Amino acid sequence: MDKIKECYVRPSTSLNLLSHQEIRVAMETTEEVFQTFRDCALAVLNTGNETDDPDLMLKEFADFRVEIVPESRGIKLRVQNAPASAFVDGRMIKGIEQHLFSALRDIVYTQAKIESLGGFDISSGAGITDTVFRILRNANVVKPNQAPQLVVCWGGHAISREEYNYTKEVGYELGLRGLDIATGCGIGAMKGPMKGAMIGHAKQNITDGRYVGITEPGIIASESPNPSVNQLVILPDIEKRLEAFVRLAHAIVVFPGGVGTIEEILYLLGVLMREENRSIPVPILFTAPAGYEEYFASVDNFLRTTLGESVAAYYQIINANPSLVAQLARRNLNQVVAHRRRSDESYSFNWQLGIPESMQSPFRVSHDAMAQLRLFRDQPAAQFVADLRRAFSGIVAGNVKPYGIRQVEQFGPYKLQGDPHIMRAIDTLLTECVASQRMKIGSGSYRPCYELVTVES
């Protein structure tokens, strides 16, 4: 792939005016944090070059460099050996340039605030929620007088052309109804709804449509943002990313995906099924195109088996009907707005949702951490759902995140243990995901990064 040998870029919106102390913070960032920023910056510059293999991208651009250069009025970035596709006639594309400084803001400056006295407090549940809010506010994703019309769309990145076209059709119908889109910002079912909504917005003469990409360093390093994203925010870890999704959402539409999608569903249901949250409306719609209905039939069976029959009351399954999905999203959104008006809740950030610290605390994936998860029903429901979500989070890491892939290559598959009833349900669902090629890396056949061990409780 062609590369641009060297260029300098300055921020035009984010970080365009900094104090000398703020410049010093940027210059004194740790090597580990800056390496994270470097990997994320490469992913941003690789926008539009779709790949399932993060290692291939990192190897191809092993000579990529980015350096913070201080100036009296702020900073600029020196970029070397970047993908030529991020440039037009030698100048970096504006949207990519803005995402590059969003990555700098959300990784370097956020980490500095977390580590410094008087910055973000992540030692308590309330502090974590405050941190999520402030990161979103700093990214201009949460702001006053923002219309409550954000639909979060989840789904897989490795999907068929028929599934991708369906996500665009649903996005188009949502856009026609004036709804904005938030996704994980990658390709596949994260890209399709945004592209469809852009056309719907254009037909309705909506010029300020929002296409919000919400990610975290481990994901963006392996999944570049898609070109439709016009607001990018990078949360420090997967748990804060998931909390951002559920607190921002006015409705949630889920398309077929792999284990990452199932992780997101488990997190969401684990929150909504708590007694304190049962009166708070968060509409959830599962939808697949014709010929792919079996995906949500399998997910529905898995959820009923592991979480109980009552879980089905929290979602609707609407297949092969994009206009109905959008109609229900719009109709249910009106109920959300009415509830928030009655309870004096913010339209832009759902503070009322109670999220236990067990679902907010970062899960550091390792072989030991995966082996210690207890996938048994003889424990508090909140802890069981938290561990079940973590199990799928670990499989996501082993499948697509560079550090997880390296762990599995070095030490073999992660081992998960639980009671026979739960492990059979997990095995059935994962086997179906593998058979339908929803768990793969690159173009090769899938080698499981996990091993399921049955233990009598």
In a domain, 135, yes or no: no
Token pair belonging to 373: 């998860």
pLDDT at residue 400 in the model = 81
CATH number at residue 83: 3.30.1850.10
| Domain that residue 442 falls in | 357-454
Q: Are residues 184 and 294 in the same domain?
A: yes
Rounded CA-CA distance 108/26 in Å is 6
Q: Are strands 91-92 and 87-88 parallel, antiparallel or unpaired?
A: antiparallel
pLDDT at residue 426 in the model = 97
In a domain, 129, yes or no: no
| Tokens 């009322």, located at residue | 352
Q: In the sheet that 65-71 helps form, which strands lie side by side, from edge to edge?
A: 3-9, 74-83, 65-71
Query: What is the full DSSP assignment across 327-340?
Result: HHHHHHHHHHHHHH
Q: Are residues 183 and 277 in the same domain?
A: yes
Token pair belonging to 310: 């009552």
Rounded CA-CA distance 270/250 in Å is 18
Angle formed by the axes of helices 259-272 and 381-400, to 10°? 160
Q: Is the pLDDT of residue 457 over 70?
A: no
Q: Are residues 239 and 316 in the same domain?
A: yes
Token pair belonging to 169: 């059709």
Q: Is the pLDDT of residue 252 over 60?
A: yes
| Tokens 């800056």, located at residue | 34
Q: Are 106 and 139 in contact (CB under 8 A)?
A: yes
Give me the mean pLDDT over the 257-261 stretch: 94
Q: Are residues 285 and 156 in the same domain?
A: yes
In a domain, 181, yes or no: yes
pLDDT at residue 218 in the model = 81
pLDDT at residue 348 in the model = 95
Q: Are residues 38 and 147 in the same domain?
A: no
pLDDT at residue 119 in the model = 78
Rounded CA-CA distance 293/300 in Å is 11
Q: Are residues 197 and 308 in the same domain?
A: yes
In a domain, 302, yes or no: yes
In a domain, 36, yes or no: yes
CATH number at residue 295: 3.40.50.450
Lowest mean pLDDT among 133-147, 318-332, 409-423, 433-447: 433-447
Q: Are residues 333 and 208 in the same domain?
A: yes
Q: 277: buried, middle or exposed (CB in 10 Å: 19+, 13-18, 0-12)?
A: middle
Average pLDDT score over the chain = 91
Q: Are residues 420 and 307 in the same domain?
A: no
> Of 342, 365, 385, at which residue does a domain stop?
342
Q: Is the pLDDT of residue 442 over 60?
A: no
Per the structure, the count of domains in the chain is 3
Number of continuous H segments (helices) and E segments (strands) in the chain: 18, 14
In a domain, 208, yes or no: yes
Q: Are residues 71 and 107 in the same domain?
A: yes
User: Sign of torsion, CA 440 442 443 448?
Assistant: negative
Model confidence, pTM: 0.94
Q: Are residues 293 and 252 in the same domain?
A: yes
Q: Are residues 287 and 158 in the same domain?
A: yes
Q: Is the pLDDT of residue 339 over 60?
A: yes
Q: Is 9 helix (H, G, I), strand (E, B) or coil?
A: strand
